[in-house]
Structure 1
Amino acid sequence: MTRTMRAALLRGFDQPLTVEEVELLDLAPTRVLVRTKATPFCSTDVASFHGRLGKVPPTILGHASAGEVVEVGSMVRGIEVGQRVVVPGTPECGNCFYCGIGRPDQCGELFDIGGVYPDVARTADGLVVNAAGCVGGYAEIMNISQHQLLPVDTDLPWEVLSLLGCGITTGVGAVLNVARVRPEEVVAVVGAGHLGLWAVQAARLAGALEVIVVEPDEERRRVAQSMGATRVVGPEDALEAVRAVTQGRGADKVIEAAGPPAAQRLALEISRRAGTVVLSGLKDAAVEVALPQVPFAVQSRQVLSTQNGNVRMRRDLPAYIRLLERGALDPKPIVTATYPLDDINTALQRSERLEDLSGVFVF
């Protein structure tokens, strides 16, 4: 196969990404080349663009994707050329401490490398390029660890499959795996971006009595209501709205899917005593969150965080695919645009202006 590809490079923070032809580095024995078919633009890459998440240029952003295997390393087993694969945001090596205790969402193959991501290509001017998140999905070809791709047997469109690497797993997993929403519970979702909207759908599937969405953007509130939210309010009305349907207690389960510290504090404040708060948003690695001590420390809330919905991809991915195939999870309102790779900066700008929920690059 060709040893060159086109990729969108982050060469410097707050500088437009450049789409360039780069030379692929040699394939290591335990890695796989995947021809990219679709990669969603994630809002966290807006933060990466501004230098807030510790990425080191030149890098290829895009931390979840879907594609077709085109080459496998000599030591790779169970992966074959021609297979359709989902490339999730987190590997499952099966060997590290966290995989050993049943928490592959914290797999050491990603989180113990200190942000030093694998080098995958070289630019025409001789710079070595790394793959952010060990994926580098904003490129025609990805160089992926054998532990970070999962073959799938489904006819779902590529752009939908690509959402299974991050958005669906995080939003649905936050509800089902972390909050463990039960029938008749009152659920509040703070933030109606793509993660929040997947959480809304999952809460309805779990049988929630009420799903209250807290979102400042009017258009996103409208989408949330169309997808099953029973009430949609702005942040200033959140506490009153939740108390109105819980006899003044607060929500049983709160899913935070926004990112700003104020949203995470609000998630705590609208939960009830002995309720559960799940935090999943991230805007800046350097930011600290201040929480009021009484509800945080002495009112028996469970305040949990989640990475990729605490999913076990080999267990959860087939179930989520079945939900998509049956129409129980609906991606149509969430995929608001598709783009060629050359429109990388347009997708970034539209994400930052909240004009897209999920913009997806289709190759």
Structure 2
Amino acid sequence: MTAMRAAVLRGFERPFTVETVELLDLAPTRVLVRTKATPFCSTDVTSFHGRLGKVPPTILGHASTGEVVEVGSLVRGIEVGQRVVVPGTPECGHCFYCGIGRPDQCSELFDIGGVYPDVARTSDGLLVNAAGCVGGYAEIMNVSQNQAFPVETDLPWQVLSLLGCGITTGVGAVLNVARVRPDEVVAVVGAGHVGLWAVQAARLAGAREVVAVDPKEERRRVATSVGATQAVRPEDALEAVRGLTQGRGADKVIEAAGPAAAQRLALEISRRAGTVVLSGLKDAAGEVTLPQIPLAVHSRRVISTQNGNVRMRRDLPAYIRLLERGALDPAPIITASYRLDDINTTLERSERLEDLSGVFVF
């Protein structure tokens, strides 16, 4: 058995413990990946508070990147030494959802009932699961062959790590789901790490105006630096988008914030027959109340998205090319680098909205 260090969440709202654990034996269809970089996602603040159904002891971190160090006996197409992106969603290729072209809903993740695979054992004998089937807050990940995607690029590890969640969700929401077209007016509700990628993607898609909506002044400033033509507070959003559209509202609205109020605002600032894409989540038991006339009578398309509806084998190479040529800029979004031992500090900074993407570097 192989020993590694991991940040283990032993109980909700208890500090992470960085400890040495023993990896379980590698199953024939799984892969060991030496972690190189993992972003701390704001979703894991929610998981820390016990609002997303995780079961401690667990290793959080649902998107990552690294180098393959061992493959199971039945693994094909992945070799030791390859760089891989490990996203938050597998693509098994044979379940119902993969079969209809929707691997973002792959049964290998969504039909396991939240019972994530055990990947390690603590020194006191407890089995530890990998949240999201990844477990990226650890030196080594034990993942399904369907959740490790080889890449050929010289992009830095920190940038590659964002391709499993932030980039795919934000860019995919714009290009795959909203399908923004040239000359449209786009609003992005939430200028965190996902929203800022959506702002950049809307600009690339040719949007005439991109309005970023966020209560934090610093995040509005960053949104403007990466392509937003306006950045406003939530209370000013309706007036802003109507002022750009002769009173109609935005053609496409991307919600990338999470709170129910943000999702309601996304609907309210869209135009009749417009498109609203919802991607945020703050509580697994949360509910959203929406006004019935805009929802049922005004012919809006209200769509949810998970991981930007990406197909990793198709979209990952395209997003890498955009990053390589500078069409997508990670510099303003990677706001800090951390060691694994810093995890409780990283958690606190994320909860206080001081980081956009803080990345653990191994």
TM-score category by the smaller chain? over 0.9
**Per-residue deviation, residues 16-60 of structure 1 (Å, max 9, x unmatched):** 000000000000000000000000000000000000000000000
1:33 partnered with 2:32: yes
Structure 2 counterpart SS, 1:164: helix
Deviation at 1:230, TM superposition (A): 0.4
Distance 2:227 2:358 in 1: 22
- Taking the TM superposition and a 5 Å limit, the aligned residue runs for 1:240-259 are 240-259=239-258
Structure 2 counterpart SS, 1:40: strand
The residue that corresponds to 2:170 in the other structure is 171
The residue that corresponds to 2:179 in the other structure is 180
Structure 1 counterpart SS, 2:330: coil
Distance 1:43 1:361 in 2: 14
Instruction: Tell me the percent identity.
Output: 86
The residue that corresponds to 1:20 in the other structure is 19
Which amino acid letter does the alignment assign opposite residue 75 of structure 2?
Answer: V
The residue that corresponds to 1:85 in the other structure is 84
Distance 1:135 1:37 in 2: 14
Distance 1:300 1:92 in 2: 33
Deviation at 1:343, TM superposition (A): 0.2
Distance 1:242 1:335 in 2: 29
Structure 1 counterpart SS, 2:164: coil
Distance 1:258 1:78 in 2: 37
Deviation at 1:211, TM superposition (A): 0.1
Distance 1:313 1:16 in 2: 34
Distance 2:122 2:342 in 1: 20
- Taking the TM superposition and a 5 Å limit, the aligned residue runs for 1:99-178 are 99-178=98-177
Structure 1 counterpart SS, 2:19: strand
Distance 2:231 2:189 in 1: 10
**Per-residue deviation, residues 251-307 of structure 1 (Å, max 9, x unmatched):** 000000000000000000000000000000011001100000000111000000000
**Per-residue deviation, residues 74-106 of structure 1 (Å, max 9, x unmatched):** 000111100000001100000100000000000
Structure 2 counterpart SS, 1:55: coil
Distance 2:203 2:335 in 1: 22
Structure 1 counterpart SS, 2:186: strand
Unaligned 5+ segments in structure 2 are none
The residue that corresponds to 1:301 in the other structure is 300
Deviation at 1:245, TM superposition (A): 0.4
Which amino acid letter does the alignment assign opposite residue 74 of structure 1?
Answer: S
Structure 2 counterpart SS, 1:33: strand
Deviation at 1:122, TM superposition (A): 0.2
Distance 2:67 2:211 in 1: 39
| TM value normalised by structure 2 | 1.00
Structure 2 counterpart SS, 1:184: coil
Aligned alpha-carbon RMSD (Å): 0.5
Deviation at 1:205, TM superposition (A): 0.1
**Per-residue deviation, residues 128-177 of structure 1 (Å, max 9, x unmatched):** 00000000000000000000010000000000000000000000000000
Distance 2:255 2:30 in 1: 35
Distance 2:16 2:298 in 1: 47
Which amino acid letter does the alignment assign opposite residue 46 of structure 1?
Answer: V
| TM value normalised by structure 1 | 0.99
Unaligned 5+ segments in structure 1 are none
Which amino acid letter does the alignment assign opposite residue 324 of structure 1?
Answer: L
The residue that corresponds to 1:203 in the other structure is 202
Deviation at 1:227, TM superposition (A): 0.7
Distance 1:142 1:13 in 2: 22
Structure 2 counterpart SS, 1:315: helix
Which amino acid letter does the alignment assign opposite residue 90 of structure 1?
Answer: T
Distance 1:294 1:55 in 2: 37
Distance 2:254 2:126 in 1: 41
The residue that corresponds to 2:285 in the other structure is 286
Which amino acid letter does the alignment assign opposite residue 51 of structure 1?
Answer: G
Distance 1:149 1:329 in 2: 23
The residue that corresponds to 1:59 in the other structure is 58
Deviation at 1:222, TM superposition (A): 0.5
Distance 1:64 1:241 in 2: 35
